[in-house]
Structure 1
Amino acid sequence: MTYKLPLLLALLGATAVHAADADTIYIGGTILTVNDKAPTAEALAVKNGKIVAVGTRKAVHAAEHGPKTVIVDLKGRTLIPGFVDAHGHISGVGMQAVSANLLPPPDGPVHSIADIQRIMRDFIATSPMVKSTGFAIGFDYDDSQLAEKRAPTRQELDAVSTEIPIMVIHQSGHLGAFNSKAIAMAGITADTPNPSGGVIQREADGRTPNGVFEESGLALIAYKIMPKTTPTQAMAMIDAAQNIYMANGYTTVQDGKTDAAAMAMLTGAAKAGKLKVDIVSYADLVTLKDDPILRGPWMSRNYTDHFRIGGVKLTFDGSPQGKTAWFTQPYFVVPAGQKPDYAGYPAFPKPGEAQGWVDMAFKNNWQLLVHANGDAAIDQLITTVRSAEQQFPGKDRRTILVHGQYLRADQIPELKKLEIFPALFPMHTFYWGDWHRTSVAGPQRAEFISPTGAVLAEGMMFSIHHDAPVTFPNSMRVFDSAVNRTTRTNYVLGPAQRISPAVALKAMTLWPAWQHFEADRKGSIEVGKDADLVILSANPLTVPPATIKDIKIDATIKAGTSVYTRPGVN
């Protein structure tokens, strides 16, 4: 009996779009498809950057193997879809890559303010960027992990240099510390008032800036003094950032809250053919407002040279670990100098201000991402989106709640009703879980941070992310944090909010692809989708959960092309 090809494939156990002589066939390992209809496969074939067959080894080989086909033996390893970055800032990672590393362990060497001073002195002495710009930047100090449990003061940074302006950014990205030279360059004095939605921390006299600037206060000084980068420097930063993401298995990367300078850098890289992964930008609505770029061809559901603008972003509050997030209840331990009822503050304190920005996004049918960490900020998100939906109904905008650290249980049904998609941040359980319990919110409230389990129980999709450069875009640490929720001291923070490895894999692939309106072409291993793939050293669904963080990214493939191979791996 003779069968036509489609029937033959069905009998053999494969699905395919016939394209004989596939470029590549993957065999010899576990293939996790993230497709509920066929969760695993023995083989897949790729041609012209697309998946053309998935199924049994015999069927895929029969249908797709040709004289030029390259056979890749996985050697027992695991193949998964490429990770989709649910929220991060690749432009910030580029800046981080050329700045001093002030992270605490396990990602950096800093334990104290003395360490910050030592590292910044060494950086000023050796950095080509400092030499070319006359400006020194350090990234990601974390007062919760410093011996002093506070930020460095301007005097402590003056001890590093009084000649070169110094800016060190808190790991949250919502605060920063500056030396006296930088403060003077910005024209900020004791008479400079706090900006709306921000704070300039003061010395004992209540007037003199102590060097620490919060939220819009950080923007007030940073935008005035940040050095401009040359096109060559900008390309080098994007290159360095892409390499970091590809080494962590990301094939689609987000740039959240892209300002004008970063937008120029990213579009320039795209036009120059420098992008190797897809980058989706969400423009900073407050600074770009009605900029023509938001109505041009870059604002699209489709990529041009690996870049597109997916929508816009707003920030409703600050950082819980930096104690600027906006809560309905006071902080467990209020910051020095604050009243006992201190509960953070909104980014838009003026009546109707937040609503105006949300209305602008909805009126233009721009997908909207809103950073909201504290439950008061999430209340504001729910209220403003509800009002905007009533005024501008009928569109699938997929509004995104970014972070949602202190999302309350009673707010989850409201998100579902308004179709607000939660992009959650369980990485906090490791990096700041102990700090949340002992200082930010106390032991009871901290158990419910980033409540992935409760959101899943409500029948909702969600994504999980790293928010790089807040943390490194370490995909397996993201995975681990959602599955295990262990803190630095190995305390399990909110065991009821843990999710299974299979759900965590979806929350890093298919569900963020849906979040970005890209699930029709990304996020799972199915015929017709982009061949965005990652080879892992082990299967995250079967290894002991505590070892997930130790799994290595052996290779990353973007649209069928290898863009990263782990050194020493064949």
Structure 2
Amino acid sequence: MTPTVLTANAVYTMDPLAPTATAVAISAGRVVAVGSRREVLARAGADARIVHLDGVLLPGFIDAHHHFCLAAFDRRAVDLHVPSGSSIADLQARVALHRERAPGTGWLRLQGYDPLKLAERRAPTAAELDEVCSDRPLLVAAYSFHEGVLNTAGLAAMGWHAASPDPPHGVLCRRRGHLTGEVLEAAFFLAEAASRGSLLADSADAWLAEAHAHGRALLALGIVRVGDAAVPPAFDPLYDRAAAAGMLPVTVHRMPVGERSFLQPRGAGGRATGDGPAAAPTGPAKLFLDGADRCAVCLSGAQLAGMAGATLRRAATGGGLAALRAGMRLGRIRLAGTRFTIGEPFWEPEALRHAIRVAAGNGQQIAIHALGNWAVQRACDALDQVSELSERPGRPRLEHAMLLTPGLEKRIAASGAVAVVQPYFLHEIGDEVLGRGLPRGLSMNPLASLSRAGVTLAGSSDYPVAGCDVLRAIRSAVTRETSSGARLHSGEAISVADAFAAYTSGGAKALGVDHEAGTIAEGKIADLVLLSADPFITEPARLPDIAVLATWREGVMVHVAQ
């Protein structure tokens, strides 16, 4: 096959041994030469086709934690990511619109509201959902996808009533002895699985179409590869069909979880990491160690007092009862020795070690959801004690590692884990974190500390929890700006170069494919993105203004900006 030589205004390879170039030769989907124009032309031969690109060439972006199958599944639903300050009435209007657009009698589901961004500073109730949808089971999922609300028909479909016990690691919220409709963590995941199972039986073809459309949308953002961070077994045949039919525009690494609940790991018999079609290989086994808004955090008395003081000040300065409600959403507070815990890890230490061994025995890379400092500590303890991981494909991953105390970054580095981080959370929820009063000594997304400790950072979005525009995420990592323009822990900012590395070489390491992806280097897959301006000399605040001009998958241009 005749090579094609791409020249550009600049080429950033993201390979620290040869970080810049001016030309790249590709053939049969692979990079065959990279370097100066003269060097590459000499390697490519006289018959090579030469194409000059008016832009800046980089490796294609990798989103290492992205809920692809669920994004496609819910893509036709009305979006509940309402603007901050919206009311429950605004939320009801969107639910009513979806109810009108979705004829039938079965389950309805929507996702995206943030209770702390609503004017009432709380979730809606079942009774409020009944006002706009009373004749069908309905689940509205919060933005985090760790909690939501059922209407009365949804509670009935789940068989839940006032006397029903809370499921382990979950909560059926009650007020005055009656269910409010709000369901948290394990209870939410049970409802999510029930609604998904009911709808999936009749929507396989629709999912294939939406998966293709979602993949095309990712290519327009320069994203060529994602780690699907929670894939129940029912999606496996759909991924196989999509891969066989060429309907996956991006490579999707499917990270297996249980069918009935994301909190249940896949047991024996699951595919090993890397097995399956090239377009949709099996990814790391996923273990959830804590929740989201109610993640497992350990605090000193002084830290807890600081948080309580911030809540009271917010209530006294105009926040009122809504501010108090928000402050109480953290979960149950317990005294443990001389410290206080909020939330809880979902796995006891020995059970966690056993789950890791089972996954390792299946040939699976390990990914542990650990958001709070208590959960991260327990994850590191388990990884330190399970030697089998050293023989398994890929490095262990810590998903989120978001709220850390000093010293934990060194524990993560010692464990060898990749930290799969979401910088755009600083923009999406940073103001709420500041409003709650983040305790002194607890950092949100401490990217610089992690990097200094030697931890590999892998960039991701957690989409649809937050937006998946990589350039916006990189701006957040570099500026640490919230949506209001405030700066959250500005000392934890990283450089533009380090941020781009997280979304290229770091993502490849998190998915165990750094031998063939993540940098522009000879022999690697020719997944590339062309930007309209040089991001390394652009003012960080202006990074989102840079356009993605084109995207290549395996040497083929698959997206061109209109």
Category of TM-score, reference length = shorter chain? 0.7 to 0.9
Map Cα deviations across residues 245-264 of structure 1 (whole Å, 9 max, x no partner): 21211111111121112223
Structure 1 counterpart of 2:222, one-letter code: G
Q: Distance in 2 between matches of 1:314 and 1:557?
A: 33
* 8 Å CA contact retained: 1:325, 1:374: yes
Q: Following superposition of structure 1 onto structure 2, how do residues 417-432 of structure 1 map, counting pairs within 5 Å? A: 417-432=414-429
Map Cα deviations across residues 421-444 of structure 1 (whole Å, 9 max, x no partner): 2112222211111111221x5263
User: CA RMSD of the aligned region, Å?
Assistant: 2.4
The structure 1 residue matched to 2:87, chosen from 112, 126, 136, is 112
Q: Distance in 2 between matches of 1:430 and 1:479?
A: 11
Equivalent in the alignment of 1:123? 98
Equivalent in the alignment of 2:319? none
The structure 1 residue matched to 2:62, chosen from 84, 104, 114, is 84
Structure 1 counterpart of 2:440, one-letter code: Q
Q: Distance in 1 between matches of 2:250 and 2:59?
A: 14
User: What are the ranges of 5 or more consecutive residues in structure 1 without an aligned counterpart?
Assistant: 1-18
Cα shift at 1:132 = 5.6
Q: Distance in 1 between matches of 2:357 and 2:149?
A: 34
Q: Distance in 2 between matches of 1:223 and 1:37?
A: 46
Cα shift at 1:394 = 5.2
Structure 2 counterpart of 1:511, one-letter code: G
SS at match of 1:97: coil
Query: Number of residue pairs matched?
Result: 527
Structure 2 counterpart of 1:478, one-letter code: A
Structure 1 counterpart of 2:358, one-letter code: M
Q: Following superposition of structure 1 onto structure 2, how do residues 103-182 of structure 1 map, counting pairs within 5 Å? A: 103-105=81-83, 111-126=86-101, 130-131=102-103, 134-182=106-154
Cα shift at 1:396 = 6.2
Equivalent in the alignment of 1:213? 183
Structure 1 counterpart of 2:526, one-letter code: A
* 8 Å CA contact retained: 1:426, 1:449: no
SS at match of 2:180: strand
User: What are the ranges of 5 or more consecutive residues in structure 2 without an aligned counterpart?
Assistant: 312-326, 335-339
Map Cα deviations across residues 65-116 of structure 1 (whole Å, 9 max, x no partner): 66672x43322x11110011221111121123221111134xxx98221111
Q: TM-score, normalised by structure 1?
A: 0.87
Equivalent in the alignment of 1:529? 524
Cα shift at 1:335 = 1.7
Equivalent in the alignment of 2:166? 194
In 2 relative to 1, CA 548–275 (structure 1 residues): closer, same or farther, beyond 3 Å? same
Equivalent in the alignment of 1:6? none
Q: Distance in 2 between matches of 1:185 and 1:255?
A: 29
The structure 1 residue matched to 2:249, chosen from 273, 276, 281, is 276
Structure 2 counterpart of 1:96, one-letter code: D
Equivalent in the alignment of 1:401? 398
The structure 1 residue matched to 2:20, chosen from 31, 40, 62, is 40
Identity among equivalent pairs (%): 27
* 8 Å CA contact retained: 1:87, 1:254: yes
2:51 matched to 1:72? Answer: yes
The structure 2 residue matched to 1:228, chosen from 191, 199, 206, is 199
Q: Distance in 1 between matches of 2:105 and 2:23?
A: 51
The structure 2 residue matched to 1:358, chosen from 356, 359, 364, is 356
Q: Distance in 1 between matches of 2:504 and 2:493?
A: 18
Equivalent in the alignment of 2:229? 256
Map Cα deviations across residues 340-389 of structure 1 (whole Å, 9 max, x no partner): 65843235266743333223223434211000111111121122222222
Equivalent in the alignment of 2:430? 433
In 2 relative to 1, CA 110–78 (structure 1 residues): closer, same or farther, beyond 3 Å? farther
SS at match of 2:472: helix
Equivalent in the alignment of 1:9? none
* 8 Å CA contact retained: 1:271, 1:305: no
Q: Distance in 2 between matches of 1:556 and 1:393?
A: 35
* 8 Å CA contact retained: 1:370, 1:401: yes
Equivalent in the alignment of 1:372? 370
Q: Distance in 1 between matches of 2:452 and 2:178?
A: 50
Q: Distance in 2 between matches of 1:284 and 1:486?
A: 34
Moved more, 539-548 or 132-141: 132-141
Q: Distance in 2 between matches of 1:52 and 1:365?
A: 31
Map Cα deviations across residues 104-155 of structure 1 (whole Å, 9 max, x no partner): 34xxx982211111112112212xxx23674322211111221111111111
* 8 Å CA contact retained: 2:107, 2:199: no
Map Cα deviations across residues 487-522 of structure 1 (whole Å, 9 max, x no partner): 112111111111110111111101221222211111
Q: Distance in 2 between matches of 1:417 and 1:288?
A: 25
Q: Distance in 2 between matches of 1:272 and 1:499?
A: 41
Equivalent in the alignment of 2:440? 444
Q: Distance in 1 between matches of 2:541 and 2:220?
A: 22
Cα shift at 1:300 = 4.3
Q: Distance in 1 between matches of 2:534 and 2:74?
A: 31
Q: Distance in 1 between matches of 2:183 and 2:402?
A: 22
Cα shift at 1:222 = 2.4
* 8 Å CA contact retained: 2:409, 2:455: no
In 2 relative to 1, CA 302–84 (structure 1 residues): closer, same or farther, beyond 3 Å? farther
SS at match of 1:236: helix
SS at match of 2:455: coil
Map Cα deviations across residues 29-75 of structure 1 (whole Å, 9 max, x no partner): 21111122322222212111111222222443454366672x43322
Cα shift at 1:307 = 1.4
